[in-house]
Amino acid sequence: MDFKIIPSTCSYCGTGCGVLFQVMDGRLVDTLPMKTHPVNQGRLCIKGWNLHEHVISEKRLKSPLIKKDGELQETTWDEAIKTAADGLKAVIKDHGPDSVAVLASAKITNEENYLVQKFARAVVGTNNVDHCARL
C-alpha span between 105 and 80 (Å, rounded): 19
DSSP strand pairing (129-131 vs 102-104): parallel
Span interacting with ligand SF4, options 10-18, 58-66, 67-75, 117-125, rule CB under 6 A: 10-18
Closer to ligand SF4 by CB, 41 or 76: give it. 41
- Smallest separation (angstroms) from ligand SF4 to the CB of 40: 6
Query: DSSP letter string over 3-42?
Result: EEEEEEE--SSTT--EEEEEEETTEEEEEEE-TT-TTTTT
Residue 18 within binding range of ligand SF4, rule CB under 6 A: no
Closer to ligand SF4 by CB, 93 or 134: give it. 134
Q: Which of 23, 28, 32, 45 binds ligand SF4 (CB under 6 A)?
A: 45
